[in-house]
């Protein structure tokens, strides 16, 4: 079954809080008149929001640019998702690619929340916006893949250090023929010094 090139309401990123979360993730790609920011996705599909100020022109021009950017994403979204999944599974081990939503390495690496900030410019052709988005998304996906790899390496280092600590706290082994109870109890010679001679 072929993918449908739709752009549903739930694919739109909306709300000041959602935009702020993406900006706080500090992952940005500058391409042409677009500044594209991304954060790990909070849903099972990528969401995109567009911010365009009055300096970009009147309402008619701004709405036209927004429609073109949404259309550029709509036409390319399945290509983006397929490429992200392929690169993620190649870069991360199978254990990190669980899609059950718990650890979510693959989920995190293949779904994003994206904010496109538009700078003043003359309206471009649809293909130009598609090319800009493709370049920006590839750059941002590489950033998040590296972060996931670095996080996994840090976790492996921490696990190895914890194992070393546990290994250094192994209990003392009893000598052959010596019970652990006797090993733990001080010997009579150590607990009671020899009786001193008494005057008769």
Please say if the pLDDT value at position 190 is more than 60. no
**Separation CA 68–CA 62 (nearest Å):** 10
**Separation CA 147–CA 139 (nearest Å):** 13
Closest by alpha carbon to 48, among 110, 4, 113? Answer: 113
- Report the pLDDT averaged over residues 161-176: 64
Residue 84 has what pLDDT? 61
Q: What is the pTM of this model?
A: 0.68
pLDDT tens string 108-133: 457 899 999 999 999 999 999 999 99
CB 160 within 8 A of CB 105: no
CB 134 within 8 A of CB 76: yes
**Separation CA 139–CA 137 (nearest Å):** 5
């Amino acid at each position: 079954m072929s993918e449908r090139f739709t752009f549903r309401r739930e694919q739109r990123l909306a709300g000041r809080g959602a935009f702020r979360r993406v900006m706080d993730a500090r992952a940005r790609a500058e391409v042409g008149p677009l500044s594209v920011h991304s954060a790990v996705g909070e849903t099972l599909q990528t969401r995109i929001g567009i911010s365009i100020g009055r300096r970009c022109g009147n309402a008619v021009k701004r709405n036209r640019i927004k429609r073109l950017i949404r259309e550029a994403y709509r036409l390319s979204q399945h290509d983006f998702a397929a490429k992200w999944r392929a690169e993620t599974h190649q870069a991360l081990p199978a254990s990190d690619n669980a899609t059950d939503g718990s650890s979510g390495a693959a989920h995190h690496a293949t779904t994003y929340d994206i904010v496109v900030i538009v700078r003043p410019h003359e309206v471009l052709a649809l293909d130009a916006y598609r090319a800009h988005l493709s370049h920006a998304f590839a750059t941002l996906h590489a950033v998040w893949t590296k972060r996931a790899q670095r996080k996994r390496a840090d976790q492996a280092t921490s696990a190895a250090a914890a194992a070393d600590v546990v290994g250094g706290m192994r209990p003392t082994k009893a000598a052959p023929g010596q019970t652990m109870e006797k090993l733990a109890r001080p010997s009579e010679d150590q607990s009671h010094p020899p009786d001193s001679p008494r005057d008769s």
